[in-house]
Structure 1
Amino acid sequence: MDKAQRYLTAGKRENTRKSYRAAIEHFEVAWGGFLPATAEGIVRYLAEYAESLALSTLRQRLAALAQWHVTQGFPDPTKAPQVRQMLKGIRVVHPAKQKQAAPLQLRHLEKTVYWLNSKSGEAIESGDYRALMRYRRDAALLLIGFWRGFRSDELARLQVEDTQAEAGIGITFYLPYTKADRAHQGTTFHTPALKKLCPVDAYINWITVAGISKGPIFRKLDRWGNLSEKGLKSSSLIPLLRRILEEADIPAQAYSSHSMRRGFATWASANGWDIKGLMSYVGWKDMKSALRYVDASSSFGGLAAYNAGEIEHDR
């Protein structure tokens, strides 16, 4: 790979590249389409899969086709009026309720962290160092994921070198890019220490027991308790989250990796955070995106009990 190609490749996420390649392959191989395509061909393709694929998937396929045509120097057929009309018709004929992750409730978070801390105490007493690492990691993952409102890929990309924590004060994370940071300018996130369910203490406890001084914060532990040097994959966080909750006797099937982010947003909204303050704290640029995460019907309560006043200054 030459220097130019290296930087061109770095400009697009690996997951996006893979999904775009798969979309082009689906159009050419599975459906038998030809490239460059015409607007009429795109319309027939959409009609063929309108019933079997979600509208979001069809839009992703169109994005891949659009990029292929632009990069190859051809007119983009996906912008044609008939293609837009086709998408509108699919949305009308096949309306789909948007799926949302259930918000992780604060009482469930509290119960799970209490269980993890109890198991950590047992592991210390029995000298089970490897079990202690697992419980410390899981507690840090839950508390940082909830109070910071991180997405799963953001949790997976956190690095020790880009994190500063001071007990009783707060913790600061730096991410070179986020979903909202299209220009890759980098974003710094701060969370204060709390009197209960403290993400700062959980982080310090985890990296101390794991002996981590650089690299990914959250890493895989195999069945024998061996700690990997590589970070967790974002796709592994859903089964990991559900396992942690189920072990603490919390029904977990409705929860996904977005549950911590949505749980914090719902808790903050129920406790008086205005939408602009919430957007600034979590990192949303679009108000519609923020509102999708807020469940107005849920109220977790406990503003004073859980030190909400100490995170209020970040609003």
Structure 2
Amino acid sequence: MAPMSLQIAPSHLSSAEEEALAALYRRGTPENTLRAWERDLAYITAWKDAAYGAALDWPEQETVALRFVLDHAADLTDGAGPARDAAEALIAAGLRRSLACPAPSTLDRRIASWRAFHRMKNIASPFDAPLLRQARGRARRAAARPRARKSENPITREVLEAMLATCDHSNRGLRDGAALMLGWASGGRRRSEIVALNRDDIDDGDFSETGLLRIRLLQTKTTGPEAAPRLPLKGRAARAVMAWIAAAKIGKGPLFRPVSQADRPLPRRLSPDGLAILLRHRLELAGYPPGFASAHGLRAGFLTQAAFDGAPLQAAMQLSLHRSLNETTPLSSTNSSLQPECPRSRFDAYRGCLSMRCAFVASASCC
């Protein structure tokens, strides 16, 4: 949390105690959450300055919190007044995209961050007041909209196979194939999870005998290092990962790395944006139109394929690490015209792996 200009400790602590507490937050909070907090703090601070010409107060006043909700619960395109003036200032600062009503999820996230900042300072949040809770609920319903898909289409097995067919035996081809297969067959990993993997997160102790790898995810959106899941990977996906490790001579450090124009693996870590570019390139080579799918299509495609194959959704969730069925519904719901004909043996393959805590891995290794 060093980049944030927020004193996160209660005022009665000493400087040394404040620094120790800040360091504890940095170590114990996922990087994605820290980045979201940083963005939200910048937005909230700029909004308060634009709306009131003042800095944030701790605790913040309920009237200020209520205006924040009201300012973000309406479409300001055709409006006028203080709310629009503040929104235009945020747009000019590059912190807001348009005068349209923000998505309810965006408002909820910013309020959640604001509440978290109050907790860090050990003070009550104005958003816990009954009036604010009621206003938030009404704002959420008033601005309700269909949940936007993070990927236009899921990357199902058919799409993945077409992408893999474009991967040759060069270092770039080996890396791309390994990243795509690992990301898909290990449960539909987020791009941040794929690029965060290190060599020592790949347990290949049983690979020579069983062809099985175990992938340790030290940091996910829903788990931390203290509860790092170990996910199975076998078949073509496991062999692809080991082939990339051998070709790139990776003994330690980042698992997935940039590859130079001379086809030489570089020592630094592949970025999440780099993985997105990789995926778009392979989709293009496979003949799919621009914008067909994003990196999140790997995650959506895993669960969509599970649904197509008749696999128990709860079993697939053991690999995807979704916590609730509600989270998976938008991912596994797609155009039925995309559904392939799948033999009954696929379903049996899923069930046969339940004893390994990976009902999907046999078929996922499709791979």
Q: Considering the TM-score relative to the shorter chain, is it more than 0.5?
A: yes
Given the superposition, is the C-alpha separation of residues 172 and 241 from structure 1 closer, same or farther in structure 2, using an over 3 Å criterion? same
* Unaligned stretches of 5+ residues in structure 2: 1-15, 76-99, 360-367
Distance 2:340 2:57 in 1: 53
Secondary structure in structure 2 of the residue aligned to 1:67: helix
Given the superposition, is the C-alpha separation of residues 66 and 86 from structure 1 closer, same or farther in structure 2, using an over 3 Å criterion? same
Q: 1:141 aligns with which of 160, 179, 183?
A: 179
What residue in structure 2 maps to residue 174 of structure 1? 216
What residue in structure 2 maps to residue 24 of structure 1? 41
What residue in structure 1 maps to residue 161 of structure 2? 110
Distance 1:207 1:304 in 2: 35
Find out whether 1:42 has 2:61 as its counterpart: no
Distance 2:162 2:347 in 1: 17
What residue in structure 2 maps to residue 162 of structure 1? 201
State the Cα distance separating 1:278 from its structure 2 match: 1.4
Distance 1:134 1:218 in 2: 10
Q: 1:68 aligns with which of 117, 120, 126?
A: 117
* Unaligned stretches of 5+ residues in structure 1: 121-131
Secondary structure in structure 2 of the residue aligned to 1:230: coil
> Contact between 2:216 and 2:228, CA under 8 Å: does it hold in 1?
yes
> Contact between 2:308 and 2:342, CA under 8 Å: does it hold in 1?
no
Given the superposition, is the C-alpha separation of residues 79 and 159 from structure 1 closer, same or farther in structure 2, using an over 3 Å criterion? same
- Give runs of ≥4 in structure 1 deviating > 6 Å: 304-308
- Aligned 1:197-216 pairs, distance under 5 A: 198-216=236-254
Choose between structure 1 and 2: higher strand proportion: 1
With normalisation by structure 2, the TM-score equals 0.73
Q: In angstroms, what is the RMSD of aligned CA positions?
A: 2.5
Distance 1:78 1:259 in 2: 35
> Contact between 2:30 and 2:224, CA under 8 Å: does it hold in 1?
no
Distance 1:139 1:82 in 2: 53
> Contact between 1:42 and 1:83, CA under 8 Å: does it hold in 2?
yes
Given the superposition, is the C-alpha separation of residues 238 and 29 from structure 1 closer, same or farther in structure 2, using an over 3 Å criterion? same
State the Cα distance separating 1:113 from its structure 2 match: 1.0
State the Cα distance separating 1:302 from its structure 2 match: 4.2
More displaced 10-residue stretch of structure 1: 264-273 or 92-101: 92-101
State the Cα distance separating 1:274 from its structure 2 match: 1.0
> Contact between 2:245 and 2:255, CA under 8 Å: does it hold in 1?
yes
State the Cα distance separating 1:112 from its structure 2 match: 1.7
Find out whether 1:59 has 2:108 as its counterpart: yes
Distance 2:348 2:178 in 1: 19
Distance 1:204 1:304 in 2: 31
State the Cα distance separating 1:72 from its structure 2 match: 2.1
Given the superposition, is the C-alpha separation of residues 293 and 176 from structure 1 closer, same or farther in structure 2, using an over 3 Å criterion? same
Distance 2:289 2:123 in 1: 52
State the Cα distance separating 1:139 from its structure 2 match: 0.7
- Paired letter, 1:94: A
With normalisation by structure 1, the TM-score equals 0.85
Instruction: Give percent identity, aligned residues only.
Output: 22
More displaced 10-residue stretch of structure 1: 100-109 or 180-189: 180-189
| Paired positions, count | 298
What residue in structure 2 maps to residue 129 of structure 1? none
